[in-house]
Amino acid sequence: MSPFPSQFIVDAFTDQLFAGNPAAVCLQPLPEALMQRVAQENNLSETAFLTKTGDDYALRWFTPAGEIDLCGHATLAAAHVVLTQLEPGRQQVTFHTCSGPLPVQKRGDRYEMDFPAYTLSPVPVTEAMAAAFGARPTAAYLGRDLLCVFDREETVGGLTPDQEALRELEGLLQHATARGRAADCVSRSFAPKCGVPEDPVCGSGHCHIFPYWARVLGKDTLVAWQASPRGGTLYGTLEGDWVKLAGKAVIFAATTFFLPGASPMGLSQKP
């Protein structure tokens, strides 16, 4: 058994503990079936699994219910671990994922990620949407996820959605958004299909949210507030088909697995 951390728990899109979105970043090579069990045991919205590949890292993301194709906050958490714990002094890292290479650049106290923007197709607002969210959207769009637009910031903050009804809607996740006052936009993200009732701060969701508000507000650089109980701030710049998504992060804990197998990647085993 290794005395070194097998994983870190990182609060992403915040610079304060107990805020933002917590993600586990696993450093220990594991079989795929065990990855899923670790994600279930962590019971966080995402667990990221890192594997060193030359100068870069392979990265996979698992929710408690299964693997997903893109996760912003767990990517930010993984970059924070690499650039402060595994290879301090580096300013940039590239992750190789099922969604392609994702470079992350450290800029001051923020981590800036290049994510693909989702193409949004307008869809009709339905009674099922109104019933699931507990309020009627003014507009709805579908990319990977369902994006529902509401008329007021307070409406988004006060939603108490029906999780089973949300599960029946289109999209992998369901996002509620409105124009903000202190920020350009506010949002909340729900993921019952992934075993996550509410994602506290959703990076991949803002690959839907930022393109929408950039078009509506006529500006390419925006600040977003995720109005979950934990709360978090995201900074976004739209560049063509890509979103430069940035945020801060803070480490909450380092943990050790009591599992057989290799010692954590990038950390030496003491004799």
Q: What are phi and psi of 163, to 5 degrees?
A: -60, -40
Catalytic residue among 32, 46, 67, 239: 46
Output the 3-class SS for 18-82. CCCEEEEEECCCCCHHHHHHHHHHHCCCCEEEEEEECCEEEEEEECCCCEECCCHHHHHHHHHHH
Three-state SS for 110?
Answer: strand
| 29's tokens | 């090579």
Distances, alpha carbon 149 to alpha carbons 23, 224, 248, 265, in Å: 27, 14, 26, 43
In the residue annotation, 87 being an active-site residue is answered as no
Q: What amino acid positions are annotated as catalytic residues?
A: 46
